[in-house]
Amino acid sequence: MDLHSNTNWLHVVNMLPSLLELHLSDCRLVSHPLSLQRINFTSLSVLDLSTNDFNTSSFPSWIFNLTSLMKLVLLRNSFNCHIPVELGNLKSLEYLDLSYLGLKGSGVPRVLGNLCKLKTLRLEANDFDGGGIEEFWGSFSNCPNNTLVLESLYLSYCGLEGQLPASLGMLKSLQYLDLSDNHMNGSIPQSLGQLSELVVLYLFGNSLEGNITEAHFINLTKLKSLSIGNYSYDIQKPMSLIFNVSYDWVPPFKLHEIEIGNCKVGPRFGVWLQSQIELVKVTLSGTGISDSIPEEWLLKLSSQLAFLDLSYNQFRGRLSSNKLMRFPNLDKIILNHNQLEGPLPLWSTNATYLDLESNLFSGPIPSSVDQLMPKLIELFLSENHLNGTIPPSIFNMQDLRILSLRSNHFSGEFLHVGRLGSHILVLDVAYNNLSGNIPTSMGLLSSLQILKLNNNNFGGKIPDSLHNCSLLKSIDVGGNKLSGSIPPWIGGWNVSMLYMLRLRSNFFTGHIPQKLCNLGYLHILDLSHNNFSGTIPKCFNNLTALVRDDSNESYILYNEQTMLTLKGQELVYSTTLMLVKSIDLSSNILEGEIPQEIGSLTLLGTLNLSRNQLTGKIPSEVGNICELETLDLSNNRLSGQIPQTLASLTFLSHLNLAYNNLVGRIPLGNQFQTFTDPSIYMGNPSLCGVPLPRKCPGDDTFTATDAKPSNEDGSDKLWFYVSTVLGFVVGFWGVCGMLLMKKS
């Protein structure tokens, strides 16, 4: 119920002395008195104030008088304070949920170890400031012998550090242990194997290391869920956690859920894994297995299996399509980044997610794919060896949201795309051999956000019907044979959310339209290697995504891969694409001056205007682009001196000013001292100074006598030494003195 306007609720409750349970979750309560003069409802055994709008910097002290409380649930509020020691007064507590409260502290508070009747403790998503877990575990020794009954411990996302203590095995009643997504390191103690009641073990998302042996599982006969490892699948980085068990070991448990990520399990698919035939959810990602996938094991799982992730391994061989159609409950299949080959395997007709990227599959997509997997929502087949035409049936899949066919050998025309309907969000067919015109029916895809048609053989013009796709955020049609001018709808009010426009390496002509300046989210503009003419628009300072950082790209719809020329190299960006800020107008026939307004783009990282016919001076305002890393103005007709302001660009690491008509001395000092390659200035015969062999006029006559004379009595040198000593004393004691006085 909505009780946000009721500020008297606690006084009303205080009039109910016989109250045993109070449930006020999700009632939008916004305030409560921190204390009451007299507590009348001390018989209360259950208090649930979860998911309200409390926002305070201290705990409500009246709760500590409810000594009969057995269950206290406060999750999803905002207390922003330490757990007070008075919480230890609630000796009867059996269930305590303080998760998602914004609690602070150094480590899990020891006072919680005094609650010896506690069976369930939930502290997820608080900030315990990198504190260790050892002291918390040690606090359980305060409980009398054989009275510790803790069954469930949830401490994920708490910022915990340190090692799991050997005393872990003392929690004999523990059934659920969740320490995932912290910063714990070190090895896992073998005492884990003494938790004979353990059902769920979540250690994923830490930096654990060392060997895991049979001894770690020796008594875990009731274990049903195992989650261990982390999210990094960098094949260049050695795995620090190793399953060092014998190939034919048969564990004492039958798991329902297994999640192992970035741990060394392979190279063989051991018997201990094949013995797990009751699995519902399987994740073995980045485990170094280079074996074939045991089909007999898969078939034993078929009736109950719902989730299968074997990505980032070296699984090889073929999968029999006929056998793999027997998974009535399989919803999500992830086999990307392996070495599987042969024709595409056909999976459960109920699957909604299929990811077979980065394998060696070959042949065509089955013509009846819409009937074989009619419920697909996301289909990833990129980076394989698939060929033939894209079957028309794939466009009959009305629930499809993401279609990724990048980097295969598909050919033919792209005719039936309009059948995908209004649900498709991502269409990626880049790096194939598709031809013909971009179909006008693409305008029917009203929900389309990411369109990648780059590096094919498409011709003709960009269809005007695309203006109906008002949610477009990324357009990449580079590397084709497209012609005509930039359509006027790009930059119009109905397509205003674009963050990337990439038209490079086509045959586009005409002027760069002023309307592009209306794209406030645009931070990647690549119009290079075309035939654009005219001047650079002065209104580029209206590209607000390059002026101030107010974007909110917390949710990445699709791991988009894009080739960009940054720092003089062609590089592929994917996970970091949203961080790139780039304007590339190179290799066109643009003329006129570089507009000084471009200096307002303070967040711009790459500015490439090379190989045009630009004239005039380099604007000194370019020195205001404080984030600039790449500046390429080569092969133009620029004149005048190199602005001294460029020397203040502390992030500038790639500079090319070759083949212009620049004159005068190359700026000295700061960042320009790092540019020692003379080729970046070649083709400017009137430039002089380091690193060119040509000296500037007056370089040879400059002597020490030209310097400002110092005081004959040496007072300058004296004050230099005095200020140095004083600076050291103040700096040293300013830090060390504070550390000595303030121990925390």
At 204, is the secondary structure helix, strand, or coil? coil
Query: pLDDT (tens digit, 9 = 90+) per residue, 212-254?
Result: 999 999 999 999 999 999 886 655 566 789 999 999 999 999 9
Contacts of 462 (CB under 8 A, 6+ apart): 438, 477, 482, 484, 486, 487
- The token pair that represents 395 in the structure block: 């466009």
Share of the chain above pLDDT 70, in %: 92
Mean pLDDT in the chain?
Answer: 89
* pLDDT at residue 325 tops 70: no
* pLDDT at residue 73 tops 90: yes
d(CA 369, CA 349): 10
* pLDDT at residue 711 tops 60: no
323 pLDDT band, cuts 50/70/90, is low
At 339, is the secondary structure helix, strand, or coil? strand
Query: pLDDT (tens digit, 9 = 90+) per residue, 606-665?
Result: 999 999 999 999 999 999 999 999 999 999 999 999 999 999 999 999 999 999 999 999
Of 210, 226, 223, 273, nearest in space to 246 by CA: 273
30 pLDDT band, cuts 50/70/90, is confident
Give the side-chain half-sphere CA count within 13 A for 272: 18
* DSSP per position, 463-505: -GGGGG-TT--EEE--SSEEEEPPPTTTTSTTS---SEEE--S
Handedness of CA 204, 209, 210, 215 (dihedral sign): negative
What phi and psi values does residue 252 have, to the nearest 5 degrees?
Answer: -80, 0
**Dihedral Cα 557, 561, 562, 567, nearest 10 deg:** 110
d(CA 631, CA 608): 6
d(CA 4, CA 665): 70
Amino acid sitting at position 76: R
710 pLDDT band, cuts 50/70/90, is very low
Average pLDDT over every residue of 539-554 = 80
d(CA 308, CA 86): 47
Residue 307: count of CB within 10 angstroms of its CB: 18
Q: Which of 60-64, 135-139, 143-147, 508-512 has the highest mean pLDDT?
A: 508-512
2 vs 109 pLDDT, higher one = 2
Query: pLDDT (tens digit, 9 = 90+) per residue, 565-602?
Result: 888 888 888 888 899 999 999 999 999 999 999 999 99
Average pLDDT over every residue of 257-275 = 94
Query: pLDDT (tens digit, 9 = 90+) per residue, 438-480?
Result: 999 998 899 999 999 999 999 999 999 999 999 999 999 999 9
* pLDDT at residue 33 tops 70: no
pLDDT for residue 419: 82
Q: Which domains, and CATH codes, for the chain?
A: 536-550+558-584+596-688 (3.80.10)
d(CA 531, CA 506): 8
Tokens 């038209």, located at residue = 503
324 pLDDT band, cuts 50/70/90, is low
Residue 293: count of CB within 10 angstroms of its CB: 20
pLDDT for residue 708: 43
pLDDT for residue 233: 62
709 pLDDT band, cuts 50/70/90, is very low
**Cβ contact 253:223 at 8 Å:** yes
d(CA 522, CA 544): 8
Q: Which residues of 570-587 are buried (b: 16+ CB within 10 A; e: fewer)?
A: eeebeeebbebbbbbbbb
d(CA 515, CA 615): 24
d(CA 541, CA 538): 7
